[in-house]
Chains A and B, each alone.
Chain A
Amino acid sequence: MNRKNLFALIMFPLLFLLLIAYACSSTTTTRKVANQSPVTPAAVSEDEKHLDVDFTISCLECHTEETPEVVADWGAGTHGKVNVGCFVCHGDGEDEYYASPGTDACLSCHDSLATEVAEAQTDETCFTCHDGHKLKFHAEQHGGFGASHPGWLRPDSHIKSTHSPQYTGD
């Protein structure tokens, strides 16, 4: 059995249980983005509205006080280091707000992962392995799917960018 299958074996029952638990207990309605037209921005559902707080200050300014541990997690990860702000995944809080964001935002920069996931025919998402704020690569430590992302050009693949090869397009 390869590592990927082993990982899936552990993950799927776990996810299944969690989803059941989530569906039973949560008062939050799941946002069914998958069923919507891909070009229509999802409307903010009533029960997923951001608290009506002071929108004249930045997300980060308020959350540094209100959820310091989340800001610290984010700040310690690469996204924090390179300033990929809260709004990128969670929206502006007024017109657009995603308490639990989907993966579209991830794929804007880490696009090749989409192909990879499709090819792997897995139901796993970025967040199966990565914590949204810390980005820690749990699965990597265990040789799971995330161990390699063979097609994924991570930022550090810049090291491979040599001068001479000229790409010839898609």
Chain B
Amino acid sequence: MSVTRREFLKLTAASAAASAIGSELMVGSAVMGSPAIDWHKSVCRFCGTGCGVMLGTRNGKAVAVKGDRKSTVNCGLLCVKGFYLHKIVHAKNRLLQPLVRKNGTLQPASWDEAMSLVAEKFSAIIKEHGPDAVAFYGSGQGTTEETYIANKLFKGHLSTNNFEGNPRLCMASAVGGYLTSFGADEPVGTYDDIEHAELFLLIGSNTAEAHPVLFDRLVARKKNHPSTKIITIDPRKTPTNKIVDLHLQVIPGYDLAVMHAIARILIKEGYTDEKFISESVTFSDGKKKISYEDYKRFLEKFTPEYAAEKAGIDPQDIVKAARMFGEAKTAMSMWTMGVNQRTRGVWLNNLMHNIHLLTGKLGKPGCDSFSLTGQPNACGGVREGGGLCHLLPGHRKVAVKQHREEIAAIWNVPASNIKPKPGKHTMAMFSAIAAGDIKAAYIMCTNPAHSLPNLNKYLQGLKDCFLVVADSFHPTETTRLADVVLPAAFWGEKEGVYGCTERRSQHMAQAIQPQGQARWDGEILMDLARRLGHGKNFEHFKTPEDVWSEYITTTKGRDMDLTGAPYSRLRKVRGLRWPVPDENHPGTWHRFTEEDPLFPKEKAKGRRMYFYNKPDGRAVVFARPDKGPEEPVDADYPLVLSTGRVLEHWHTMTMTGSVKQLVRAVPQPYVEINPEDAKELGFADKDTAIVETRRGELKLMVRVIDRPRKGTIFIPWHWPEKLANLLTTDAIDPGSKEPEYKICAARIRKA
């Protein structure tokens, strides 16, 4: 591109004028260029992308954050949340001392007083009502080491499987999808596939706001390869649409039919990889094996017209989407909560895998069906670490005798300590708390009194039970209800490992000492273990490294083998993607292929992919019914309510709510209404409305905007003063037990 000299001078003058003040800062820039800052390698505390960040400290304080340019995940980039992490470390709402409820109010107490009370109550309740009268509820934000210690204490020593974590509310359906379709949890490929994909299918994912750095990678991919196509299936127009080529704006809850219709076209128009299907795929209706022909017959009903009518879209768009997917040499699907937080989340996950299995677009560069994670360590600590009521570390199950025996041996407890029956899944756990059957709960690093669906049903129970909350922040909706609040060390104040979406485990350095009296969660849990008489099996955990070293022995020989990823190696590298069976192994890009160290060549007999966790080595294409949402709209509640996120805030805002800049970006909660609906209902922008569902109501500012589809409204769920979850439904997916946060029926009126 040529520019005339005149234009050049004009441009230069403009930019120089704009930067007249900035210019003095560059050389020896105020903070970033200061040699007095020590930089520590870490991982972002927010979403599941797993961006490498460097935490800058000076005189024992966190003063700056920059992207880790050596991380292949983000190449130095940050999103606007990660950018302010150092401010959150020293936020005003950090809890710096233990609190104990006395005469109805939370009052400062010593660690000894607080922990004595916790131990005394837990002991008494277990003695009187048995171990299943207590529960642990953890988080995809705790480190793997913390979840491991808690798991060992509760399942191995207290003998209760009432052990859950918030990933149940977030990605349990993705787990269910991977297990049923491929036989093993977590994606086949990695982020590296992004740079090889010709087509991206985003469904139920507002990537631009929920996974901004991955969105940056999509933007870069499209910029460098303008032929790259992006399709999105979403009820809402979102900032992601800026780079989207085709948007199927479906009615919430009716996308299963669309996915079947796409599969039907892929088969009918010859886009399938018949060799791959014959070698590596089998078919099922969910109850029994069916034939390829049966599956084709099942699909017959799903014409583009049928699906389009159900989903309220143009049938031609379905045809277009299918052809784009079929014609692209490489294609990657990505999804998040719009697929997972559904009563048929597992089924929809299956349908995503279906189109990749039918076309063989799996297990090779640029091809994957890839579930994006919402929390930084949901994959690592909870899915891999076995932090749910039916799991044990290393992708094991409590129901399997051999698994219990293997873990009991590592934990140095009799195998009978680990109960074979899964404990109560999250919603059952909080129902049992509400019913008074669970009498004491230990909540670590999460905020269920804000994040559970249909909150009105569960809040009183949380108030009534003996509630212990370990958190870095106070007040939160949950700490307000607690009997004991324990100040937990925050990110940067502790060492540990996070495992992100792409099977990558990354080490985070401790950069500063915990502030005030805050302690590492692992230390708090081990103190509790000692006080409950189980200290012996935790004595050897002097550091997080000791915990990790024991944890990785549980992964040896498993599909998620991390034997080759001890701290000594993790401290140096920018994470490792399992399976990584030995210290010379570089980590694995595509599972179930020859790249995978666990790939059984003899059994595979020349097949490109062998799903070794399935008895026949074949992945399953499912003929699942296209069931709609649990609470469809009707005459009384004619609008669909969906909840979700904004870029600048995260989950329950305990972190982003303390950063003025982020609050500034989105200062208030609101309800989004489509302009057509607003006109019909007589709403103007900034009016006040009352949104009502069968479970509760909420007064909110109206934002009239062409984002939600006509007939749907959207509320971001971050604000504690306007709890969107008073409205949401707690209906769950029967397979994954994940609630349908994304869809319920609502109505709206003027306040």
CB–CB A33/B26 < 8 A: no
Q: Report how far A19 CA is from B21 CA in the complex, Å.
A: 9
Interface string of A88-110 (1 = CB under 8 A from B): 10011111100111111101111
Q: Report how far A86 CA is from B661 CA in the complex, Å.
A: 9
- B600, CB-defined interface residue at 8 Å: no
Residue of B nearest to A131 (CB): B15
Q: Report how far A158 CA is from B73 CA in the complex, Å.
A: 8
Question: Taking A36-B30, A131-B18 as contacts, is the C-beta distance between A157 and B66 under 8 angstroms?
Answer: no
Question: Taking A94-B660, A131-B15 as contacts, is the C-beta distance between A141 and B76 under 8 angstroms?
Answer: no
Nearest Cβ on chain B to A149's Cβ, whole angstroms: 12
- A2, CB-defined interface residue at 8 Å: no
CB–CB A93/B77 < 8 A: no
CB–CB B13/A22 < 8 A: no
Nearest Cβ on chain B to A90's Cβ, whole angstroms: 9
- A30, CB-defined interface residue at 8 Å: yes
User: Interface range on chain A: under 10, 10 to 19, 20 to 34, or 35 or more?
Assistant: 35 or more
Interface string of A2-46 (1 = CB under 8 A from B): 000000001100110011001000000011111010110010000
- A64, CB-defined interface residue at 8 Å: no
CB–CB B224/A159 < 8 A: yes
Contacts of B587 in A (CB 8 A): 163, 166
Contacts of A31 in B (CB 8 A): 21
CB–CB A83/B80 < 8 A: yes
- B662, CB-defined interface residue at 8 Å: yes
- B734, CB-defined interface residue at 8 Å: no
CB–CB B219/A114 < 8 A: no
CB–CB B30/A33 < 8 A: yes
Among B11, B29, B71, B572, the residue within 8 A (CB) of A102 is B29
CB–CB A108/B18 < 8 A: no
Nearest Cβ on chain B to A158's Cβ, whole angstroms: 5
Among B20, B31, B69, the residue within 8 A (CB) of A18 is B20
Q: Report how far A92 CA is from B80 CA in the complex, Å.
A: 13
Among A59, A84, A100, A170, the residue within 8 A (CB) of B21 is A100
Among B21, B25, B242, B661, the residue within 8 A (CB) of A87 is B661
Q: Report how far A158 CA is from B197 CA in the complex, Å.
A: 13
Contacts of A81 in B (CB 8 A): 219, 242-243
Among A39, A82, A112, the residue within 8 A (CB) of B215 is A82
List residues 110-163 of chain A with CB under 8 A from any CB of chain B. Answer: 110-112, 114, 117-118, 123-132, 136, 138, 141-142, 153-159, 161-163
- B552, CB-defined interface residue at 8 Å: no
- B391, CB-defined interface residue at 8 Å: no
Q: Report how far A86 CA is from B647 CA in the complex, Å.
A: 13
- The stretch that binds A, out of B56-64, B166-174, B471-479, is B56-64
- A67, CB-defined interface residue at 8 Å: no
> Interface SS of chain A: helix, strand, loop or mixed?
loop
Q: Report how far A11 CA is from B13 CA in the complex, Å.
A: 9
Contacts of B59 in A (CB 8 A): 39
CB–CB A129/B15 < 8 A: yes
Interface string of B657-688 (1 = CB under 8 A from A): 00011111111100000000000000000000
Q: Report how far A92 CA is from B39 CA in the complex, Å.
A: 26
Q: Report how far A59 CA is from B661 CA in the complex, Å.
A: 10
Among A32, A93, A107, A161, the residue within 8 A (CB) of B33 is A107
CB–CB A136/B11 < 8 A: yes
Question: Taking A30-B21, A83-B212, A123-B23 as contacts, is the C-beta distance between A158 and B586 under 8 angstroms?
Answer: no
- B410, CB-defined interface residue at 8 Å: no
- A68, CB-defined interface residue at 8 Å: no
Residue of A nearest to B209 (CB): A83
CB–CB A101/B58 < 8 A: no
List residues 557-587 of chain B with CB under 8 A from any CB of chain A. Answer: 571-574, 576, 586-587
Among A33, A112, A128, A156, the residue within 8 A (CB) of B19 is A128
Nearest Cβ on chain B to A71's Cβ, whole angstroms: 14
Q: Report how far A166 CA is from B64 CA in the complex, Å.
A: 26
Contacts of A87 in B (CB 8 A): 80, 661-662, 664-665
CB–CB B572/A124 < 8 A: no
- The stretch that binds A, out of B112-120, B188-196, B266-274, B308-316, is B188-196
Contacts of A15 in B (CB 8 A): 16, 23
CB–CB A108/B67 < 8 A: yes
Contacts of A88 in B (CB 8 A): 80, 83, 661
Q: Which residues of A contact B (CB under 8 A)?
A: 10-11, 14-15, 18-19, 22, 30-34, 36, 38-39, 42, 55-60, 78, 81-88, 91-96, 99-105, 107-112, 114, 117-118, 123-132, 136, 138, 141-142, 153-159, 161-164, 166-170
Q: Which residues of B contact A (CB under 8 A)?
A: 1-3, 8-9, 11-34, 36-37, 39, 41, 54, 58-59, 61, 63-67, 69-72, 75-78, 80, 83, 190, 192, 194-195, 208-209, 212, 215-217, 219-221, 223-224, 239, 242-243, 571-574, 576, 586-587, 589, 647-648, 660-668
| 14 A-B contacts (beta carbon < 8 Å) | A38-B58, A81-B243, A102-B26, A103-B22, A111-B32, A112-B76, A125-B23, A126-B26, A138-B3, A142-B8, A158-B221, A167-B573, A169-B41, A170-B70
